[in-house]
Structure 1
């Protein structure tokens, strides 16, 4: 468990410091609390000095009765709990988006693409080799530029419910690898190891032909790109409130 301390120094300057990494045998709230108390004590600090605590939305962290925040509040009522706003933003966007039937179906197919294409090293290698050939041909034709940091190797990213920006990275990785994904799916449709795999590949290819797929992938790439930029900005040590306000205005 990583413990980070935010504080204001004697000159009134806001600072953030890593005070320790604690090995814990389990992730129960009681175990985590004991580890935090121990780390604070080792740094001549006390839980009574804490004025705020912030975690993600896991039940063992923010549980109303037995979560870590509740255990600390019993000892110190002044240790107010604040849910990480950048994390909340990601969860709200994903949850609200998936309440739309079309978007929910889009993400279901997106998950199928990652599972089907990335199910074996053979398919991953096939996709990367096809990508390499395409980049080489485009460079020879002068269609893309070369240089440091350009044309990096890309792989399909699996969307994680509680990972900031993972849904956006899944979409952008699919857009970058779309021609290669199509070729791998066609291969699976014909030579897949099981009937289920061949059926999944056929279904995905059929979905890719629909106009709604084109609409959703570009619409969500734009929306999640904005929210991802805002989430990253909110995690910076030095906050620029005017820049954050502009990003929020862009989302609205």
Structure 2
């Protein structure tokens, strides 16, 4: 457990210092509290001196009755709890992936894809060579422009569980590298060194060449493109809360007017890479189980209601729940304690 303290020194300056890594036998709130008490006593400090706590949003930290923040508040009611802003945002994105099986399955597929392609230097080099070859072909045909800063090398990076802006970068790269990734998977499927490796590549090829994968890929690119800016390291509280409001407005605009443009983008992508396009009036075929006749729905209904509207509404609801008016006003009031702001105003 990493422990950082923030305090005001004798000159009135706010100082933040990393103190130590504390070994804990388990992550229960009681064990964490014991570790903190032991560390503070080493420096002649005590929990009674605390005037604030800041942790992530995990239940063992923020639990109302038995969380670490609650155990400390019982001992010191002045140790007010402030949740980590970035982690709150992360939880809104994770919630969408966990609550919607289609989105969760999509990110599982992307993780498997990154593991298969990045599992060896040979496969990474193969992807790089395929992409270089396609860039040269595009330049020769006049389809790709050449200028300083263009055509930079891309790769499929592992998704960072605690930094969801990495997901956005990976999706952007996947869209750009899509034909090269397909070529590498086809090669592995035909020439892989063992049966499990070939089976994984063939399974990924099957999933990636489906309309639904392409649709979710572009949908999540749009959503993460709006929200990933909130995780920038240089955000201050006031600017971040304003960006939350802007993000909510942009999500609402996409919900009301963005479906047609998204479908055009998906159809263009499918046409470019020979991916079969579904008939919107056909009955949607659910993988893994059969549907009763009364539950049948068209493809258009599934992609519009169960994916597009539902995912955006879940994202919107999570942002509202975690950054409601009370939390927003509280965070904005906290910004008044920034000494840099007072210094600038005094000038």
> TM bucket by the smaller chain?
0.7 to 0.9
> Which residue does the alignment assign to 1:37?
40
Q: Which residue of 1 aligns with 2:110?
A: 110
In structure 2, the residue matched to 1:182 is: 182
More helix by share: 2
1: CA distance, partners of 2:210 / 2:92 = 27
Q: Residue in 1 aligned with 2:263? A: none
Cα deviations across residues 32-62 of structure 1 (Å, max 9, x unaligned)?
A: 51476369x58xx764443331211345544
Higher deviation after alignment, 239-248 or 27-36: 27-36
Q: Which runs of 5+ in 1 are unaligned?
A: none
The corresponding residue for 2:17 is 19
Question: What is the DSSP-based 3-state SS (H/G/I as helix, E as strand, rest coil) of the residue aligned with 1:239?
Answer: helix
Q: Map of 1:36-115 to 2, 5 A cutoff?
A: 37=40, 41=43, 47-58=47-58, 61-62=61-62, 67-115=67-115
Relative contact order, higher structure (CA 8 A, sep 6+): 1
Contact 1:97 1:103 survives alignment (8 Å): yes
Larger radius of gyration: 2
1:214 and 1:4 mapped to 2: Cα distance?
46
**Higher mean displacement: 62-71 or 157-166:** 62-71
Deviates more, 1:103-112 or 1:118-127: 103-112
* Partner Cα separation in structure 1 for residue 152 and residue 3 of structure 2: 31
CA contact (8 A) 1:156 1:173 kept: yes
- Conserved 8 A contact 2:5-2:19: no
Name the CA distance, whole Å, in 1 between partners of 2:83 and 2:118.
Answer: 34
Kindly indicate whether residue 193 of structure 2 is the aligned counterpart of residue 193 of structure 1: yes
How far did residue 29 of structure 1 move? 0.9
Q: TM-score scaled by structure 2? A: 0.59
On the 8 A contact 1:29/1:67 being kept in 2, the answer is: no
Q: Give the alignment's TM-score, normalised by structure 1.
A: 0.77
Q: CA deviation at 1:137?
A: 4.9
Name the counterpart of 2:145. 144
Q: Structure 1's 6 and 230: CA in aligned 2 closer, same or farther, altered over 3 A?
A: farther
Residues 106-128 of structure 1 show CA distances to partners (whole Å, capped at 9, x for unaligned) of: 22321221121111121112212
The number of residues matched between the two structures is: 244
In the alignment, is the contact (CA less than 8 A) between 2:52 and 2:79 conserved in 1?
yes
C-alpha distance in structure 2 between counterparts of 1:231 and 1:61, whole Å: 21
Q: Does the aligned pair in 1 maintain the 2:60–2:66 contact within 8 Å?
A: yes
Unpaired runs of at least 5, structure 2: 253-347
CA-to-aligned-CA distance 1:122-141 (integer Å, 9 cap, x gap): 11122123333444554565
1:5 CA displacement: 2.4
